Structure 1
Amino acid sequence: MKLSFTYVFLLFLVLSFQLSSCARQQKKSTTKETIQPKEPKTIKTGADRIDQYLPFLKNKNIAIVANQTSILHVLQRAEVAPNVMGSATTTHHLVDYLHHYDGINVQQVFAPEHGFRGKADAGEAIADGKDVKTNIPIISLYGKNKKPSPEQLKGTDVVVFDIQDVGARFYTYISTLHYVMEACAEATIPVIVLDRPNPNGHYIDGPILEPEHKSFVGMHPVPVVYGMTIGEYAQMINGEKWLANGVQCDLTVIPLENYTHQSIYSLPIKPSPNLPNDISINLYPSLCFFEGTNVSAGRGTDKQFQIYGSPFLEKTNFSFTPQPNEGAKYPKYKGELCYGEDISTHQRLANLNLSWLLKAYKQSPKKDFFNAFFTKLAGTKKLQQQIEQGLSEKEIKTSWQQDLESFKKVREKYVLYK
């Protein structure tokens, strides 16, 4: 039977429309797939990048600067040390891992403030000893002995530094890094820094430390929050010749993978007893100024560096009573009722917040508010003077800006990540 021309033409139009519709749907589907946000890749620490640093350590006598945060994740069974039992998800402490690795001799461990297992109070003297698990000698780098001596480094071929920093100038692990690099430079011993993310690496803020106020809670002309990983910071110490007599050490940084300074990184292990969670770590640069005042920053509670208060502040609905606990054997205002503010639900900070400090100053007895430690924390006398003069937070922060811009130019030379 013959089909009319009109019928064939109509059939052609219908089929063309259907094919065009299918093509549009397929294109739409493809477009939708391409704009789906990709899941962020897992950040890989320097310690996790085993193949990058093992060649430097084989058949060597090594010393490790470490604490409880010095962990690594063995991602493939082939990477597991021959004498270490493990699987694809096994987590090891760096000291344990390298101690069992054939051809590597871990001579000793150097421990920073809070000790090798991270249990000691801030400022508490740490005794030398032996690790109960590996029987490796532990040498404290806190107290009178902050810098490894030539005798302590005798026979060491390379020093590995692997400690989690939190990006605040007064957090003493970067001071330990300085002294380790200095001792190794003088002894011509290479240093390998296994880089770790900076949970406060997303901003730069605060007054620059002035040389006359140099101490173990601030050794370098950097702001309170410097926006660098510990590997980047090591490169800056070396490159700016901040070590004694301008010496420079043989430095290797094992970089991070899949990290930027805007990455949100949750620490798997608390870096010290009084920084128990991500909130406290983020608030720490702002609240640590209270350590140089008559106001408690929450030591002796379960909300360290998430609350503040004292018996002298105005009575509010919020109060707490500090009691001895891990990391605070003798907390400020032990057993006394303190009034203040709970800021544990505050949004994530991307700058220093001085409002709590200024508010507490206005409510406290002015004569006894500051102590000598405040200037060490601030790195300058100007901040205390500005507060006493009644300057606003905006006015105080404006006074930092020129110095911060100068620092950023120095910092730019050493950054490894965007």
Structure 2
Amino acid sequence: MKTKYLFLVFLWYITNTLSAQKVINGAEQMDKLLPLLEGKQVALVVNHTSMTGNTHLLDTLVASGVKVAKVFAPEHGFRGNADAGETIKNGKDIRTGVPIFSLYGKNKKPTAEQMRGVDVVVFDIQDVGARFYTYISTMHYVMEACAENGKPLIITDRPNPCDYVDGPIRQKDLKSFVSMHAIPVLHGCTVGELAQMINGEGWLAGKRKCELTVIPVEGWKHGQPYSLPVKPSPNLPNNQAIALYPSLCPFEGTAISVGRGTHHPFQVIGSPDIQLSSFRFQPQALEGFDKNPMYKDRYCYGNNLRSLPAPKGFSLKYVLTYYQTYKKMGKADKFFTRPQWFDILLGNHTVRQQIIQGATEEEIRAGWQEEVEQYKKMRGKYLLYEE
């Protein structure tokens, strides 16, 4: 009897421990979402990451009797298989017949015409926590459209898989679609928290405020590791790529390939111009990754980062190492192939000049630390989860 009792207690403990650890995204909490959509014409801002278990949110809502009038799709499209920067066309979902409108290309913000007939908008997209990842820029413009057209916005929140506060704050004159907000490279927010910040700090055009409801994640807190069940974009296929992405993305403004056109993007780096080691890779046209990568069909020599520890935050060590290598070869002037793009990605004019002048990472980081501390204080007002 005592053994049976102990077994039941143990079973209860295991069951409740596993239950407590289970992460339940906002979109999976139908008891909270469906009442907000009942009897309304709904627009969804979704892509391939918008899953409720094994089912897409669109299919889940339609099966629940929700009237989904239209879908707005971000960069990479509704199915998430378009290359970075590729033009996305409007279309129709084959399964449900719901019309799809692209929010990438010339039309980055829903128009007044597109918002007509919509009662409420639901945003459910998995972010990775980096300022230059454009899903949060799409969210900004959706918030503006909702504010301008008097439509409420519901954000079904998801965890931040790269949950750090690090990197330079974006300077005012470097605002772009990859740097919409005066936040660090790693902003340390979920999309729900960031939306509250955008509203609270008056960052929408005309300092308008969007009528906002956030359905928080259950079972997650800041700093808790989170592995994405679906790759968030074609070139971020796993946890290692996501962890390295913030530190490697600035290479997009240089002569260094980040492995686009391989099965290990943002995990291998190199160039045909150098040979730091015997490791090499050959970018090729790869469906589902990149169809026209940098250095296509050429061997690049550099580093394999697939099994090495990734930075816990943002690091300049990779860029500094490769710049110094180019400098030793007498090719320093060939490194920053797109200097303006490098500055836009960093959100900072000074960093590139400091690299050229030979500053250390510690010296460069000192230049943005005070602003980051100020940001952290401001960020604290909008947090939904325990740190």
TM surpasses 0.5: yes
Partner of 1:193: 155
Kindly indicate whether the alpha-carbon contact (under 8 Å) linking 1:313 and 1:360 is maintained by their aligned counterparts in 2. Answer: no
List alignment gaps of at least 5 residues for structure 1: 1-29, 74-90
Kindly indicate whether the alpha-carbon contact (under 8 Å) linking 2:146 and 2:152 is maintained by their aligned counterparts in 1. Answer: yes
Equivalent position amino acid for 1:265 in 2: Y
How big is the alpha-carbon RMSD for the aligned residues of Structure 1 and Structure 2? Answer: 1.5
Q: 2:332 aligns with which of 358, 366, 384?
A: 366
List alignment gaps of at least 5 residues for structure 2: 1-8
Q: 1:221 aligns with which of 170, 182, 200?
A: 182
Residue 71 of structure 2 corresponds to residue 109 of structure 1: yes
What is the 5 A alignment of 1:78-89? Answer: none
Deviation of 1:99 after TM superposition, in Å, equals 1.6
Residue 217 of structure 2 corresponds to residue 256 of structure 1: yes
SS in 1 for 2:245: helix
Kindly indicate whether the alpha-carbon contact (under 8 Å) linking 1:312 and 1:363 is maintained by their aligned counterparts in 2. Answer: no
SS in 1 for 2:70: strand
Distance 1:319 1:390, change over 3 A: same
Kindly indicate whether the alpha-carbon contact (under 8 Å) linking 2:128 and 2:160 is maintained by their aligned counterparts in 1. Answer: yes
Spell out, residue by residue over 1:101-141, the C-alpha distance to the aligned partner (whole angstroms, 9 max, x if none). 22x21000000000000000000000000011111100000
Equivalent position amino acid for 1:62 in 2: V
What is the 5 A alignment of 1:18-417? Answer: 39=18, 41-73=21-53, 91-102=54-65, 104-201=66-163, 203-325=164-286, 326-364=288-326, 365-370=331-336, 371=338, 372-417=340-385
Query: Over alpha carbons, which structure has the higher Rg?
Result: 1
SS in 1 for 2:27: coil
Deviation of 1:314 after TM superposition, in Å, equals 2.6
Spell out, residue by residue over 1:334-393, the C-alpha distance to the aligned partner (whole angstroms, 9 max, x if none). 111110001111224312121111111112221121112111101111110110110011
Deviates more, 1:140-149 or 1:371-380: 371-380
Count of aligned pairs between the two proteins: 366
Percent identity over the alignment is 53
Partner of 2:3: none
| Mapped partners of 1:323, 1:342: distance in 2 | 17
| Mapped partners of 2:96, 2:311: distance in 1 | 40
SS in 2 for 1:300: coil
Deviation of 1:315 after TM superposition, in Å, equals 4.5
Deviation of 1:50 after TM superposition, in Å, equals 0.9
SS in 2 for 1:110: strand
| Mapped partners of 2:121, 2:380: distance in 1 | 26
Kindly indicate whether the alpha-carbon contact (under 8 Å) linking 2:263 and 2:289 is maintained by their aligned counterparts in 1. Answer: no
| Mapped partners of 2:274, 2:226: distance in 1 | 35
Equivalent position amino acid for 1:210 in 2: Q
